Amino acid sequence: MTLFCLPALALLAAPNVEVVGDWSIRVVAGEATYTYTVPVASGAVVTGEKYDSLPVFNPGAGGWCKGVVLRGIKSDECSARTYLFPDTLVLRGGPTPDAPALVKGKDYEADLDWGTVGRLADGWPDGKPVWMSYRHGMGRIDSVVIARDGRPAYRIGQPHQSLPQQTPLGEGETRVVNIWVPGRAERLVPASILPVLEAAYPEAAKPTPSIAEKLTPKSLAKLQSGEKIRILAWGDSVTDAGYLPNPATQRWQAQFVTRLKERFPKANIELINLGWGGRNTDSFLGEPAGSQWNYAEKVLGCKPDLIVSEFVNDAYMTPEVVETKYTKLLGDFQGIGAEWIIITPHYVRGDWMGLDRERDIDADPRPYVAGLRAFAAKHNIALADASLRWGRLWRQGIPYSTLLSNAINHPDPHGMKLFADALMALYP
């Protein structure tokens, strides 16, 4: 059992919370003790879900795109990995329970970890429908709240396969701890408890002069004076962000520009979006002349005043590689008179980052992030350190993975806001 002592919130003595059983927690508030039975991990049973046809199973593709994604675990563009109960998947050639079952390895193949299914080329016929039945899990964020009378209460969150939501607070209620229950969780563990230690990211006091005044003075002067400024948002799928419900307003760069205009009322900003999904900086540099992604023509050639770069797909780089490759970019940008802001990347799937939990993860373990910080400090480049904000989400009771719309690496609008927050922290 692990005991967490929470700070006082909203003039109320926050409780101590501990896991006391597979699905139970104890809350001590003042002299009162409350024990709550936490509902087991959420899920659903799907029966006879029709698919008009199956694509050929592609064993060489990423798990989320080897075949059709089961609808119950479908996230934006991908699937919620491990949320399918693999032994429950049954494919039939008709809608009734007595219809003949398809044979795995003969008629079809499946990635049971990712929940994707495809027919075999010499198996189930192309264009012939199948009916699938299975059971799957859904993530859930429950809460312990303190009511206006000072008594704690347990609130069950809204389950979802990729973007579960906390239950809304009632009038006068204060959320003091969240309980993270991922799909297919077998029991609560100490890391299930996410104490609400912060209402928001603790913004540092701005230095004098500000980072923008020191490191991007020319573009800042244009923002302040109303002279036209061209800003290039350069990155990968997180910059393209076509997956968002409303990309025009929800992309990090759109939120950034909107807030720049609020901060600098005279600002006359031309925003150029250059995001290439699934690619990195090397991809742009390797494109031939005439390509819509050619680095010389589309990055340097648009003659931006300010380049803001976001490349989670550069995360393969070691600090030494960052120093070599980004020094080349810096020389090119200086050659056209452009200033540069680098955004550190958001947190992605835990197993890609070596993380096995959603709390106590303030320090980003990726060498790439350490490399960006070292490079920016060495070369006097402005750094919008969004990674710091993602690493502290657990202190607000938020499992960071619940801000990934595809359950892998695509931030939702709230996640995009964290980039804009990090950028605005640079400005006076």
Could you tell me if 78 and 113 are in contact, meaning their C-beta atoms sit under 8 angstroms apart?
Answer: no
pLDDT tops 50 at residue 10: no
| Burial class for 349, CB neighbours closer than 10 Å (0-12, 13-18, 19+) | middle
* Predicted pLDDT at 14: 55
Residue with tokens 């020191």: 214
Closest CA to 121 of 108, 102, 104: 108
| Phi, psi angle pair for 185, to nearest 5° | -60, 135
- The Cα 174–Cα 166 span in angstroms is 13
Summarised one tens digit per residue, pLDDT across range 58-99 is 999 999 999 999 999 999 889 999 999 999 999 999 999 999
Residue with tokens 């024990």: 35
Rounded to the nearest 10 degrees, the angle between the axes of helix 319-335 and helix 367-379 is 40
| Phi, psi angle pair for 192, to nearest 5° | -70, -25
State both tokens at 412.
Answer: 């939702």
Could you tell me if 116 and 109 are in contact, meaning their C-beta atoms sit under 8 angstroms apart?
Answer: no
| Burial class for 50, CB neighbours closer than 10 Å (0-12, 13-18, 19+) | exposed
Could you tell me if residue 238 is left (phi over 0), alpha (psi between -120 and 50 degrees) or otherwise beta? alpha
* Predicted pLDDT at 32: 83
Q: How high is the mean pLDDT of the chain?
A: 94
**Average pLDDT of span 231-244:** 97
What is the DSSP track for 149-177? TS-EEEE--B-BSS--BPPPPPTT-EEEE
State both tokens at 355.
Answer: 């993380």
* CATH number attached to the domain at 211-424: 3.40.50.1110
Query: Would you kindly state where each structural domain of the chain is located, as residue ranges?
Result: 3-41+139-195, 42-138, 211-424
State both tokens at 158.
Answer: 């809204």
Summarised one tens digit per residue, pLDDT across range 307-364 is 999 999 999 999 999 999 999 999 999 999 999 999 999 999 999 999 999 999 999 9
Residue with tokens 């016929």: 125
- pLDDT band at 30, cuts 50/70/90? confident
- Which position has the higher pLDDT, 363 or 147? 363
pLDDT tops 80 at residue 367: yes
- pLDDT band at 31, cuts 50/70/90? confident
What is the DSSP track for 193-243? EEE---SS--PPPPPSS-HHHHHSHHHHHHHHHT-EEEEEEEESHHHH-TT
- Residue 345: strand, helix, or coil: coil
* Predicted pLDDT at 17: 86
* Predicted pLDDT at 277: 96
Could you tell me if 196 and 6 are in contact, meaning their C-beta atoms sit under 8 angstroms apart?
Answer: yes
- The Cα 299–Cα 19 span in angstroms is 53
Rounded to the nearest 10 degrees, the angle between the axes of helix 252-263 and helix 413-424 is 40
Long-range contacts, 102-111 (Cβ 8 Å, 24+)? 102/130, 108/54, 108/57, 109/57, 109/59, 109/66, 109/67, 110/57, 110/67, 111/63, 111/66, 111/67
Chain mean position to CA 272: 23
CB atoms < 10 A from the CB of 256, how many? 26
